[in-house]
Amino acid sequence: MSATAPYAGPSPIRRPLAAAALLATLISLVFGLLLAGAGPASAHAALTGSDPADGAVVDIAPKEVTLSFSEAIAVGDDSIRVLDPSGKRADTEAEPKDLSEGSTVRYGVALHSGLPDGTYTVAWQAISADSHPISGAFTFSIGAPSDTTVALPSQKVGGGPVGAVYDIARYAAYGGFVLLVGGSAFVLVCWRGGATALPMQRLVVRGWLTLTAATLVMLLLRNPYTGSGKFADAFDLAGLQSVLDTKPGAALVSRLLLLGAAALFIAVLFGTYARREDEREKKDLTFGLAVGGGVVATGIAATWAMSEHASTGIQASIAMPVDVLHLLAVAAWLGGLASLLVALYRTPDIGSAAVRRFSAVAFGSVVVLAATGIYQSWRQVGSWSALTGTRYGQLLI
């Protein structure tokens, strides 16, 4: 009977590699949980005041109703509705008038003259600077409160099944971007031999597919997400056209166009580049892919920066490039880490040199993340004292 040699476990080289990857994973998870637990100081715009105020009882019918918000918003023709006790429109149904002055964001609608006594309901909805829909309602009374008020739907804009699917697609888009950009960078910078490794090819392609599919879903659901909340309205051509006229819609279309260029990049990376044997030619092609891929990755990251918080408020011209750097650093770090784990456990020929290169990339990414994160936090909370005095700012520092 033949004897079987006992399994000695991972090779001496792969043991420290696996340990390093596991440690990096744990650090990433802890860092992510800390940031998730802290949360930003103010994620979306919020209603800060109104005239008449919520619950107010006025003796004379006002000529208009005004609403104030914490930051810039986008409004449509029907963003502010004033309903009388029977549910009929008490406003003139004109587009809300922008009454903003300086740092105060205020919108108003005119009311019909001669409104009778009773309780009036103000229902509003808008798009905040980070492209998320916001909504709310409040009441005021003329003369005295009435026995009946308008019953409004309990579901807020951006909620329900459509909101859930949209949010899933939004987070999936971030994940796809991380795998696409981080995986490609890992192959070009850390382990060029990975261009011929099927697991690495699958990782990057799946990142591209995830980002593309998520972007398409977000584009189709954008109209019902910010409006009716009905899946059927995803195929409303008029609604889709109105989405394309907004910053988020233009950003999503731009992302799809850039993903077409990314598909060509992937084909060259895992096709021509992987088959190239001449070292000089491969070096030249590496440079070309790095430049071209960097431009495409920067463009895709910019589609987030141009449509969310970075594009509004103070120092927008600085905040948008900073936001792009932040996203690229996240992708290089977490996407590279995912690639390293795949390479360690699915391919036999990765060496310690790839880990050393990734360590340098990860260190640089963390430095960029720290710098851009502190700037973003300061810009959001508004002052250095608030940065050091809030839990979110303290965790970043």
Residue 322 lies in a domain: yes
Rounded Cα distance between 134 and 272, Å, is: 48
9 within a domain of the structure (yes/no): no
Judge whether 68 and 47 are in contact, CB under 8 Å.
yes
Among candidate residues 142, 173, 203, the one where a domain is terminated: 142
- Does a structural domain hold residue 254? yes
- 68 and 20 in a common domain: no
Statement to judge: residues 277 and 169 lie in one domain? yes
Q: Are residues 375 and 305 in the same domain?
A: yes
* Phi and psi torsions of 372, nearest 5°: -70, -35
Q: Structural domain of residue 315, as residue ranges?
A: 14-42+160-396
Q: Based on the structure, what is the number of domains in the chain?
A: 2
Q: Residue 314 falls within a domain, yes or no? A: yes
Q: Are 93 and 36 within one domain?
A: no
Residue 303 in contact with residue 250, Cβ under 8 Å?
no
- Residue 156: the pLDDT is 67
In single-letter form, the type of residue at position 372 comes to T
Domain C-terminal end among 110, 142, 174? 142
Considering the domain architecture, whether residues 184 and 263 belong to the same structural domain is answered as yes
Residues 91 and 62 in one domain: yes
| Short-list 314, 334, 307, CA closest to 378 | 314
In this structure, are strands 133-142 and 57-58 parallel, antiparallel, or unpaired? parallel
Based on the domain organization, do 263 and 181 belong to the same domain? yes
Q: Which of 123, 138, 130 shows the shortest CA–CA distance to 74? A: 130
Do 130 and 230 reside in the same domain of the chain?
no
Residue 46's CB is within 10 A of a number of other CB atoms, namely 14
Q: In sequence order, what are the beta bridge partners of 81?
A: 123
pLDDT tens per residue across all 397 residues of the chain: 444 444 344 444 455 555 555 555 555 554 544 444 444 444 567 889 999 999 999 999 999 999 999 888 888 878 899 999 988 999 998 889 999 888 789 999 999 999 999 999 999 988 887 788 888 899 999 999 988 778 776 656 667 889 899 999 999 999 999 999 999 999 999 988 888 889 999 999 999 999 999 999 999 999 899 887 788 888 888 888 888 888 899 999 999 999 999 999 999 999 888 777 777 777 778 888 999 999 999 999 999 998 887 777 778 788 899 999 999 999 999 999 999 999 888 877 787 888 899 999 999 998 998 888 888 877 776 655 555 555 555 555 5
- Residue 4 has a pLDDT of 43
pLDDT recorded at residue 131: 80
Take residue 83 and report the two structure tokens written for it.
């309903």
What's the CA gap between 96 and 66, in Å, rounded?
Answer: 9
Same domain, yes or no, for 359 and 277? Answer: yes
User: Would you state the pLDDT for residue 3?
Assistant: 46
Q: CB–CB of 226/158 below 8 Å?
A: yes
Q: Is 310 exposed, middle or buried (0-12, 13-18, 19+ CB in 10 A)?
A: buried
Residue 340 forms part of a structural domain: yes
Cα(146)–Cα(247) distance, integer angstroms: 42
Assess if residue 155 is contained within a domain.
Answer: no
Structure token digits, residue 300: 């895709």
Residue 2 lies in a domain: no
3-state SS, residue 138:
strand
Q: How many helices (H) and strands (E) does the chain have?
A: 12, 9
Give the closest residue to 229 by CA, choosing from 155, 172, 125: 155
In the structure encoding, which two tokens stand for residue 110, read together?
A: 């005119």
**Are 306 and 178 in a shared domain?**
yes
| CATH code for the domain of 138 | 2.60.40.1220
Same domain, 194 and 217: yes
Whether 184 is covered by a domain: the verdict is yes
Residues 85 and 184 both lie in one domain: no
